[in-house]
Structure 1
C-alpha cells in the first residue's frame, strides 16, 4: 500500500484541510467482497494500490477508502487501537498525572475521530457513547494544559510541546499568531508616539 506523509504541512490551516489530510491515514477494515476482475485482489487508485480484498480478511486502507466502502455496505471498519476504552482510560490517567508534557497520540487523532464519529459510528457498537465521552475528557485535559502553557509564556515558564496532534498544533499557532500580531501592532504605535515626542522636543530653527 502506498501512502503519503502529510505531517510537514504549514499551519495554521482550516479544520476541513486537516480532515482532508487525515483521510490518508491507514485504518483496518474487514471486507465483505472480493475483487473478481483483479487477479491479485488489489484495487489500483491514483494514490496507490490497496488490498488484497477478500471476504472476512483484514486489510489496511486509507480512511477515505474505508469510509466509501463502509457507505456502500462493503466492509466493517475496525476502530484504531488508541480508541479502545482501556487505552483511552490509560491515556487520561497518564495525561492527568504528567502536568509538564503530553502523552503521544497519532498526529491526526482528532480528525480521524471526527471522521469516524460522523460517518461510521456503528463501528464502535454499543461502546460509541462511552468512547466519545472518554475522548472528550482526554481532549479537554490536553486543551487546559495548552491554555496553561500559553498563559505561562509571559512568565518565562515553559511547557513541553512534544506529542501534539495537528489540531492542537494548529490551535497553538493561531493563538501565538494572534498574540504576535497584537504585539507588532502595539510596537508600531509605540514607535510612532516616540518619533512624535522626539520631533516635538527638537528646537525650532530661528529661535
Structure 2
C-alpha cells in the first residue's frame, strides 16, 4: 500500500510539473465558455449547470451553448455547429483588407476570436463552408496584425528611455499574451529609468565650494576654521598673548596669565626690554602661529 501511495504521489508531481498550462493554453481553455449557435438533433429538457442553464433542446431548433458543450455534442453527432459570421470568407476578406490598409490602427475583433476559430476549424471543420479558405484567411489576418504590432512598438528596442506605459485597443487575448511576454521587460526598464530621472530632478543641488583665499604671494590658503592659525597677539607681553588666546579659544585656555605652563619671570624679550611680569619669547609666538 505504501509503495502504491508513493508511486501515485510521484506521478502527481510529474503531472503538475510537466503538464503545466501555458498562457496560450489558458486562453484556449477560457475561450470554451464562448457561446456558439448549434442545431440539435435530439430532444432534451433544460440542462442546469453550476454557472448557467442551457436548453431545452429540440431537433432543428437553434440553441446557444458554450463552445465546450457544442464540441462535445458535435463529436457525438448530436448536433451541427452553425459557424459565426466571423468565420465566413466574405467577412475575413473584408477584415484583412481593413487591416492591410491601416498602418497603425487595429480593427475591432472579439477577444477570443482566434482561439474559437482554431478550435472550430480543428474539431468542426465539416460544419464550416470553405473551411480551407477560411483557415488561410484566419492565418493571414493573424500574421498581418502581428506584423503591425511589431512595427508599432519596435521603437522600444531603439530608444534610450522607453515609455512607462503603452495604450492598446482592439487586441485579442492571444495578442495581449504575446505582448506581455515580449515587451513587458522593456516597459519595466522604462519605468525604472523614468523613476531614476525623477529622483535626480527633485534632489537638491549640492552647494558649490567657495574659492580659497589667496595670500599676497599668490599661494592658496585654506579657510577652514579648524586649521586656521590663531590670531597674532597685539603685544609681546604674556598677558597680551594670553588675552588674545582666551578670546580665540575660550574653552582651552582658562588661565589668562599662562600658556601651557610655559611662562618665565624677569626675562628679556627679543626687543631687549625687560618686563616685570612673565613674558613669552618669540619662539613661543612662532609655535602659536604654526598651531
TM-score, normalization: structure 1?
Answer: 0.74
Partner in structure 2 of residue 122 of structure 1: 126
Distance in 2, matches of 1:117 and 1:86, equals 17
Say yes or no: does 1:22 pair with 2:41: no
Partner in structure 2 of residue 82 of structure 1: 86
Partner in structure 1 of residue 176 of structure 2: 169
Distance in 1, matches of 2:125 and 2:166, equals 35
Q: What is the aligned counterpart of 2:55 among 45, 51, 57? A: 51
Q: Which runs of 4+ in 1 moved over 6 A?
A: 156-160
Partner in structure 2 of residue 151 of structure 1: 154
Deviations 1:116-152 (A, max 9, x none): 1221111114x01000001111111100001111202
Distance in 2, matches of 1:170 and 1:143, equals 12
Deviations 1:158-196 (A, max 9, x none): 986210000001111111124357x49xx8xxxxxxxxx
Distance in 2, matches of 1:163 and 1:27, equals 21
3-state SS, counterpart of residue 30 of structure 1 = strand
Q: CA contact under 8 A between 1:31 and 1:58: conserved in structure 2? A: yes
Distance in 2, matches of 1:149 and 1:177, equals 15
TM-score, normalization: structure 2?
Answer: 0.53
3-state SS, counterpart of residue 33 of structure 1 = coil
Structure 1 gaps, min length 5: 1-12, 36-40, 188-207
Distance in 2, matches of 1:116 and 1:132, equals 10
Larger radius of gyration: 2
Partner in structure 2 of residue 106 of structure 1: 110
Q: 1:57, CA displacement in angstroms?
A: 0.6
Q: 1:15, CA displacement in angstroms?
A: 1.3
